[in-house]
Structures are given as structure tokens and as C-alpha cells.
């Protein structure tokens, strides 16, 4: 194993970390742009107040990784096992990003923002999402189960399928057009006359 790195207030541009190990490395207030983290070992790595702009996290190994006050902008995450990340102080926000087959189960994501994102086939089981915002976000195939969605904002989100019997949705906001996604679990037919 190589020596661990400690970097603070650095701009890291167009670095290909794919297949490498960042195990135990610490990055504080760093800005990553056009970096490739696909298949990168992130075990025990710490990203505190970092921004990831146009980065690729496809199949990154996130076990024990700390994302604290991390922001993902126009980035791609495929198979992100966020539920394996360190849970203490876990906080992330996403803008314009594509997240496919990601798992956010068992995490506290209170107040998280997904803005203009694509979240396809993602999992939110036993997840704290009160006050979360899914502004202009496509939630096709995404599963919400036994999650707290109270005060969450789905008003401009699309393609969601949320079972109100297995999730807390008190005071959540939904658009009239997309609210049909709340009724799919009841196996009823809605007719537009």
C-alpha cells in the first residue's frame, strides 16, 4: 500500500484515477474537474467540502469512504454503493448529474438536493429524506421503501413511483400530473375523460 495523501484547497484537473487506490487519502476543500474515478478504490478516503465537476464515478468502490459536504455537478455515478460509505457526517448534493443503479439505503439524506438530475433504478430503502428536493429530476425505476419523505419536494420531478403505504409522505409536494405515481401501488386504472 502506498503512503496516503492529504490535500487541501487544491484544484485537481483531468486526472485519471481509474483502477487506482485512493485508500485512506484525505481531500479537504478540493475541486475535482473532469476526473475519472471509475473502478477506483475509495476505501477510507475522505472528501470533505469537495466539489466534483464533470467527474465519472462508475463502479467506484466506496466502502468506508467519507463524503462530507460533497457536491457533484454534471457528474456520472453508475453502481454507486453510497450505503457502504461512512455514515457519520455523510452529506452530498447533486446538480445536473446522472446516477444509475445507485444505492442510498439506510442513509440520512435530510435536506439533500438533486437538481436537474437523472436517477434511474436507484434505491432509497430506510432512508431519511425529509426536506429533500428532487427539482427537475427524472426518477425512472427508482425505489423508495420505508423512507421518510416528509416535506420532500417532488413538484417538478418526473417518473416517480412512490408507495404511500410504505413511505412517510406527510407535507411532501407533488405535481398533479405526476401524482399518478402515488397510485400505482393500488393497482387501479385511472381514466381521463
CA 54 to chain CA centroid, nearest Å = 15
Query: What is the predicted pLDDT for the residue at 39?
Result: 97
13 vs 10: CA distance, rounded Å: 10
Residue 178 has pLDDT above 80, yes or no: no
* Architecture of the CATH domain 104-193: 3 Solenoid (2.160)
CATH class of 1-75: mainly beta
Using a 10 angstrom Cβ sphere, with 0-12 exposed, 13-18 middle and 19 or more buried, the burial of residue 192 is exposed
State the pLDDT at residue 17: 97
* Residue, of 100 and 161, whose pLDDT is higher: 100
Whole-number pLDDT of residue 177: 75
- In this prediction, residue 188 has a pLDDT band, given cuts at 50, 70 and 90, of low
Q: Where are the domains of the chain?
A: 1-75, 104-193
- How distant is the alpha carbon of residue 78 from its chain centre? 11
Cell of 167: 413511505
- b or e along 18-51 (b: 16 or more beta carbons within 10 Å of the residue's beta carbon)? eeebbbbbbbeebbbbbbbbbbbbbebbbbbebb
Say if residues 118 and 142 touch (Cβ distance below 8 Å).
Answer: no
Check residue 181 and give its pLDDT.
67
Measured torsion, CA atoms of residues 112, 118, 120, 123, in degrees rounded to the nearest 10: 0
Domains 1-75 and 104-193 share a fold: yes
In the prediction, which pLDDT does 176 show?
Answer: 80
Q: Is the pLDDT at 6 greater than 90, yes or no?
A: yes
Biggest distance spanned by C-alpha atoms of the chain: 68
- The pTM assigned to this predicted structure is 0.91
Predicted confidence (pLDDT) at residue 169 exceeds the cutoff of 70? yes
Reply yes or no on whether the pLDDT at 180 is more than 50: yes
pLDDT at 193: 66
Q: Is 104 left (phi over 0), alpha (psi -120 to 50) or beta?
A: alpha
Q: Is the pLDDT of residue 2 over 60?
A: no
The x, y and z cell numbers of residue 128, run together, are 431519511
pLDDT for res 37: 98
- How far is residue 142's CA from residue 66's CA, in Å, rounded to a whole number? 24
1 band by pLDDT with thresholds 50, 70 and 90: very low
What does the mean pLDDT of the chain come to?
94
| Average pLDDT, integer, range 159-188 | 83
User: Residue 108's pLDDT is what?
Assistant: 97
pLDDT in tens, 15-63: 999 999 999 999 999 999 999 999 999 999 999 999 999 999 999 999 9
Amino acid at each position: 500500500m502506498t503512503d496516503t495523501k492529504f490535500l487541501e484547497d487544491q484544484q485537481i484537473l483531468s486526472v485519471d484515477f481509474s483502477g487506482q487506490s485512493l485508500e485512506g487519502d484525505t481531500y479537504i476543500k478540493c475541486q475535482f474537474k473532469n476526473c475519472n474515478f471509475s473502478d477506483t478504490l475509495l476505501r477510507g478516503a475522505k472528501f470533505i467540502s469537495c466539489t466534483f465537476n464533470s467527474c465519472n464515478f462508475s463502479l467506484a468502490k466506496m466502502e468506508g469512504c467519507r463524503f462530507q459536504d460533497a457536491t457533484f455537478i454534471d457528474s456520472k455515478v453508475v453502481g454507486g454503493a453510497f450505503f457502504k460509505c461512512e455514515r457519520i457526517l455523510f452529506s452530498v448534493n447533486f446538480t445536473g448529474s446522472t446516477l444509475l443503479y445507485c444505492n442510498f439505503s439506510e442513509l440520512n439524506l435530510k435536506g439533500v438536493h438533486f437538481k436537474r438530475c437523472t436517477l434511474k433504478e436507484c434505491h432509497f430503502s430506510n432512508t431519511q429524506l425529509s426536506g429533500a428536493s428532487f427539482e427537475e429530476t427524472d426518477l425512472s425505476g427508482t425505489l423508495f421503501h420505508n423512507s421518510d419523505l416528509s416535506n420532500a419536494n417532488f413538484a417538478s420531478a418526473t417518473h416517480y413511483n412512490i408507495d404511500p403505504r410504505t413511505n412517510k409522505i406527510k407535507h411532501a409536494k407533488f405535481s398533479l400530473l405526476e401524482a399518478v405515481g402515488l397510485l400505482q401501488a393500488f393497482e387501479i386504472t385511472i381514466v381521463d375523460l
